[in-house]
Structures are given as structure tokens and as C-alpha cells.
Homo-oligomer: A and B are copies of this chain.
Amino acid sequence: MKSQFRDQLPDFPMPVVTEGSAASNGNASPRAEVVSYSDDRRSRGLRTLAEITGESGVAVVQGLRELAPDLADWIIDFSYGDVMARPGLDRRTRQLATIAALTALGNAQPQLKVHVQGALKVGCKPQEIIEVILQMAVYCGFPAAINALSVVREALLPK
């Protein structure tokens, strides 16, 4: 379990994502209008936010602007531009890990709903989302799993 991993260490510090920079230079980009934000993190974050959360996530972020515009910017630039846009883990796994964490926290229902929808949007099957939540019964207890499943139901089977 030991030194075998030390050899792998030089590999996993990932190079800084450069697609954003490229986009800001590439006039032909179909998303060139986003680049008017003059910041690569911004354009990368906006694109990632839209690809994962679609309209609902963008609306949440816009809703924060009245009271806390900087928080809205951090979500775009840091959460999505710096973190969620990273290579090294595919989007489906990222969404399932977020669903696991939000189920464990147990007090973030609005975010859980956004990320259940996001998981579906990036290609997770409903079955996979439910599997993650069932597994949380083991690690976080049955109430956490049951309450998270209520949120999944709202996302999967809206009235």
C-alpha cells in the first residue's frame, strides 16, 4: 500500500487547464460571446455551469446577484471555473460525488436538487443516482438517505 504510490505522485499535479485561455484567443469559438468577460476562469466557469446545471443553476447564480454579486462570481469562477471544470475526473463521477456529499451534509436540499438534475444532464442514469443515495444509508444513516431520496423524487418525478 506504500511506496508504490510515491512513484505516481509526479503525475497527478495536473497542468492548469488551458482550454479557457485557448477560447479567449480563438475568435472562431462558438462561445466567443462569453469571452467578453475578459477572464478565462469566468468563461470556463460559465460554460461548465451551463453544461452541468443548465438553466436552473444559472438562475440560482443570478438570484444571488442582488445581495451578493461577488458570491455569484465566485461560484462561476472558483466552483465551476477552477474546480468543476478540472480534468482528472469525468463529469458523471463528479456529480455522483457531489450527490454523496450533499446527502451526507443533509441540510443542502436546494443544492442536492440542482445536482441531481445536473447528474442527469451530464449522463448519469437515474439508477446510478439512486445507488449512490442507497449507499449513503450505510455511511450517513437511513434518515439522510431517505430525505435525499425525497429530493431525487422531486427531480425525477415532478408533480
Contact = CB atoms under 8 A, between A and B. Distances in A.
A102 to B, nearest CB: 7
Given A12-B127, A70-B134, A64 B149 contact: yes
Q: Is the interface of A mostly helix, strand, loop or mixed?
A: helix
Contacts of A6: 156-157
A107 to B, nearest CB: 4
A46 interface: no
Interface in A81-101: 82-84, 86, 88-89, 93-94, 96-101
A136 interface: yes
A8 interface: yes
A110 B71 contact: no
Nearest to A117: B1
Interface residues of A, number: 78
A140 B97 CA distance: 12
A156 B67 contact: yes
A89 B95 CA distance: 14
B84 A127 contact: no
A2 B159 CA distance: 9
A105 B108 contact: no
Most buried by B among A5, A60, A89: A89
A59 interface: no
The 10 A-B pairs of least Cβ separation, nearest first, read: A12-B127, A108-B143, A104-B104, A97-B100, A106-B107, A101-B104, A89-B131, A100-B100, A111-B143, A141-B141
